[in-house]
Structure 1
């Protein structure tokens, strides 16, 4: 392509513009998954979806041949239903949405799709979705899913290493900083409070997913949001965008 498009979000393009992008070689699509769920008393329920919105564009900019689909703003959030406002869909519902989106992409001539989630509760689904979708979709469409939540948490921990704050993976210093970077007016700074002071690992994640967040963190926070800053938020966004783009580039088959 001689010139990069300034708008990479499909929903903000016209149909002829999408056709032109495909003809110019932009055959990759990015499908971000989010959620609508509680994030403590200081963050809105839109955190994961707002986060996914931005990551999708950042990854597309890094790949150079990708357009971004609308974020799926409902996720597998049953473990947050102890808190008012949380909405949750069944894994099979989310899988069906992903399949339908990919089937549409194949019709239009897209050849690659990267599915990622800014909500850790969707990761169990993502760990199995490649095989499930690929078995039902045209062979010409290369489906790649990112399912390494530990790598995301490690990227956040590296970003906050000098602060001494606790990365717990939910409404913590990383997610709070990301929201300060994306939508500072949405952060209720006067309501910030630490939550469960345990590092997120497989054992804790299993407890959270089976018993619910409220059982381990009554205020809905896993980690400590204190020390949050927009600069840290931008650093976390950049680190994870790099992680996703590198994963996609390493996994995609060459187009023929």
Structure 2
């Protein structure tokens, strides 16, 4: 059995889920990802793969929790200039999250924790959270992690602690994300295709330009940061630090 499979709702039988709920397991984690371009060296599955792995760590970290199937496609309209990207509209993403939550609440889960490995999902998650909560019965509370700055700062700290150059963290297909994939799925990384993208964290003006005109308006190759110097060791440290950030944030019961 792959580590964490015993926590995955989709690999359980209905009677096993009922037994788990009856035994007191009332918390469930919903990971969200994206299927979008990640430069010439990474597959479109990066955020979905990352979310899938983090979900197990978060469920274990909060304790007494099961793991819902990852919502693999997210809000990626700012990447649509790059072939292969699939994007949900914000309201479609919200309806999927709402249907997940109402289904899970109906079965007796009382605490639903949502996070995304795709930072582009953070704004719609933050916007929908009050509506998700109002759609739940009084016995069920929904929390979501939506602090993009904390995520990027944690990546920078993790890269530095693991011996990498934090200046190469930009938030997309950079040294952090590339290292994560070198740890999770090294066979999917095209190391010969590394190239630097837009360096430095985006200003508020850059972010507004990106949301309005797409990522290609601020980075021609679709990369924010630089993958050079990536390693599985850096990736493992990034994963551990982000998992700890999510567990701490979601354990508060409110969005961070």
TM-score computed with the length of structure 2 as normaliser: 0.93
2:189 paired residue number: 187
Structure 1 residue ranges, 4+ long, deviating more than 4 angstroms after superposition:
none
Contact 1:166 1:199 in 2 (8 A): no
**C-alpha distance in 2, partners of 1:167/1:243?**
17
1:7 paired residue number: 6
Where in structure 2 are there 5+ consecutive unaligned residues? none
Confirm whether residue 247 of structure 1 aligns to residue 246 of structure 2.
no
* 3-state SS in 2 of match to 1:35: coil
Contact 1:42 1:189 in 2 (8 A): yes
**C-alpha distance in 2, partners of 1:208/1:26?**
41
**C-alpha distance in 2, partners of 1:204/1:237?**
27
* 3-state SS in 2 of match to 1:174: helix
- C-alpha change, 1:203 and 1:67, in structure 2 (3 Å) is farther
1:173 paired residue number: 175
- Shift in Å, 1:202: 3.8
- Shift in Å, 1:73: 1.1
- C-alpha change, 1:7 and 1:98, in structure 2 (3 Å) is same
Contact 1:27 1:66 in 2 (8 A): yes
Greater mean deviation of Cα atoms: 166-175 or 21-30: 21-30
**C-alpha distance in 2, partners of 1:229/1:94?**
33
* 3-state SS in 1 of match to 2:18: helix
Where in structure 1 are there 5+ consecutive unaligned residues? none
Question: What per-residue deviation string (whole Å, max 9, x for no partner) do you get for residues 47-104 of structure 1?
Answer: 0000000111100011111111111111110100000000011000000000001000
TM-score computed with the length of structure 1 as normaliser: 0.93
1:219 paired residue number: 221
* 3-state SS in 1 of match to 2:82: coil
Question: What is the aligned residue count?
Answer: 248
